[in-house]
Amino acid sequence: MTPEQIATTAASIASMQEADGAIPWTTGEHTDAWNHVEGAMALLVGGEVEATEAAYDWCLRTQRADGSWPMKLVSGTIEDASTETNMAAYVAVGVLHHWSIRRDRAFLERMWPVVRRALDLVVDLQLPFGGIAWSREWDANGPAKVNAEALLAGSSSIYQALRCGVALAEILDEPQPEWELAGGRLGHA
């Protein structure tokens, strides 16, 4: 791709970004944390820094206390409150990507609690054989039934996110050995 094509692609993503910073799959469709972070990464590569910051601010504002985001939001309304672990974990990939490009320490420090909550959630949902439960349902009281299947694609994404989280922890001198152990168990699952 040429630099112009990259900028045009980023501009098209920015044009469908919602006022609260959410990046839906396409205009009027749903937002999920994984695809949202992918969009934020593309915005940054394409030079849309202000839109990128708005996207990460959305992550910061909408993360739930358990470290997750709803699986499906449409224009700010939750359509599926369930948690998907690979969606939650992926914020670590985006934050390390942002750090790699911008070297913005203030951004990194602002997003670190978000990454910690997300990856701590993922580690908490690791199954006895080492895989990570792919999702947890929500009900009126909050987190509910854990869906104890571990999906290969989701686990691969989570493994990458754990490695990125460990790298971020090293940059911030806040070791997270439980993430390293979880990644090792996942890699051998």
pLDDT at 188 over 90: no
How distant is the alpha carbon of residue 141 from its chain centre?
24
Q: Does residue 189 surpass a pLDDT of 80? A: no
Using CA atoms, how far apart are residues 27 and 82, in angstroms rounded to an integer? 22
Nearest to 186 by CA among 93, 100, 123: 123
pLDDT score of 68: 97
Separation of CA 36 from chain center: 8
pLDDT of residue 187 exceeding 90, the answer is no
> Tens of pLDDT along 128-178?
999 999 999 999 899 999 998 998 889 999 999 999 999 999 999 999 999
The pair of structure tokens assigned to 129 is 């054989």
**Looking at residue 26, what is its pLDDT?**
93
Query: Residue 69 is which amino acid?
Result: W
Query: What per-residue confidence (pLDDT) applies to 148?
Result: 86
Query: What confidence tens digit (pLDDT) does each residue in 40-87 have?
Result: 999 999 999 999 999 999 999 999 999 999 999 999 999 999 999 999
Given a contact cutoff of 8 angstroms between Cβ atoms, the answer to whether 155 and 132 are in contact is: yes
One-letter amino acid for residue 66 of the chain: D
The residues that bridge with 14 in the sheet, in sequence order, are none
What is the pTM for the complete model shown?
0.96
Closest CA to 52 of 2, 113, 97, 118: 97
- Answer whether 78's CB lies under 8 Å from 33's CB: no
pLDDT digits (tens, 9 = 90+) for 88-113: 999 999 999 999 999 999 999 999 99
- Position 38 pLDDT exceeds 90: yes
Would you state the pLDDT for residue 66? 96
Query: N- to C-terminal Cα distance for the chain?
Result: 37
Give me 168's structure tokens: 């971020």
- Please give the pLDDT value at position 12: 97
